[in-house]
Amino acid sequence: MQASPHRNASTTENRHPLHVIQALLIAGVCMLAGGGIWYLAITGIIGRKKWDFMLYGLKPAILAGCGALVIIGTVLAFFLLPGLKNWSRPVARDLWKDRYRYSLIIPGLIIVFVFSYMPMYGIVLGFKDYKIKSGIVFSEWVGMYNFGRFFKSPVAGQVIWNTFFIGITQLIITFPVPILLALLMNELRSTGYRRTIQTIIYLPHFISWVIMYSLLFSLFSITSGLVNKLLMSMGYQAINLLSDPNKFYGMLYLTSIWKEAGWGTIIYMAAIAGVDQEMYEAAYLDGANRFQQCLHITLPSIAFSITTMLILNVGSIMGANFDQIMNLRTAATQTTVAQVIDTYVYDMGVGKGQYDLSTAIGLFQQIVNCILLFVSNFVVKKMSGEGFF
Sorted by where each begins, the domain ranges of the chain are 5-143, 151-384
CATH of domain 151-384: 1.10.3720.10
Please state which of the ranges 41-55, 95-109, 124-138, 313-327 shows the lowest mean pLDDT.
Answer: 41-55
Q: In the chain, pLDDT over 70 holds for what percent of residues?
A: 91
Asked if 216 and 251 touch (Cβ cutoff 8 Å), the reply is yes
Nearest to 242 by CA among 264, 219, 259, 265: 219
Question: With 90 as the cut, is the pLDDT of residue 380 above it?
Answer: no
* pLDDT for 47: 45
Question: With 80 as the cut, is the pLDDT of residue 42 above it?
Answer: no
In DSSP terms, 141 is beta-bridged to 128
* pLDDT for 166: 92
State the Cα–Cα distance between residues 72 and 66, nearest whole angstrom: 10
State the Cα–Cα distance between residues 214 and 269, nearest whole angstrom: 31
Got the DSSP string for 149-198?
A: HHHHSTTHHHHHHHHHHHHHHHHHHHTHHHHHHHHHHHT---HHHHHHHH
Asked if 66 and 150 touch (Cβ cutoff 8 Å), the reply is no
Mean pLDDT for 339-360 is 90
* pLDDT for 5: 46
Asked if 25 and 72 touch (Cβ cutoff 8 Å), the reply is no
Question: With 60 as the cut, is the pLDDT of residue 7 above it?
Answer: no
Got the DSSP string for 66-85?
A: HHHHHHHHHHHHHHH-GGGH
Confidence of residue 50 (pLDDT cuts 50, 70, 90): low
Over the stretch 188-229, which tens digit does the pLDDT of each residue have?
Answer: 888 888 888 888 988 999 999 999 999 999 998 888 889 989
Question: With 80 as the cut, is the pLDDT of residue 250 above it?
Answer: yes
Longest CA–CA span in the chain (Å) reads 99
Cα angle value 344/147/376 (rounded, 5°) = 75
Over the stretch 259-305, which tens digit does the pLDDT of each residue have?
Answer: 999 888 989 998 998 888 889 889 888 888 888 888 889 998 888 88
State the Cα–Cα distance between residues 227 and 241, nearest whole angstrom: 11
* pLDDT for 13: 46
355 class by beta-carbon count within 10 Å (0-12 exposed, 13-18 middle, 19+ buried)? buried
Coil, strand or helix at 1: coil
Confidence of residue 9 (pLDDT cuts 50, 70, 90): very low
Q: What's the whole-number average pLDDT of the chain?
A: 85
State the Cα–Cα distance between residues 359 and 357, nearest whole angstrom: 5
Over the stretch 66-117, which tens digit does the pLDDT of each residue have?
Answer: 999 999 999 998 888 888 888 888 888 888 898 899 899 999 999 998 898 8
State the Cα–Cα distance between residues 121 and 40, nearest whole angstrom: 10
* pLDDT for 44: 56
Asked if 158 and 340 touch (Cβ cutoff 8 Å), the reply is no
Question: With 70 as the cut, is the pLDDT of residue 3 above it?
Answer: no
Q: What is the residue type of 25?
A: L
* Backbone φ and ψ of 127, nearest 5°: -110, 15
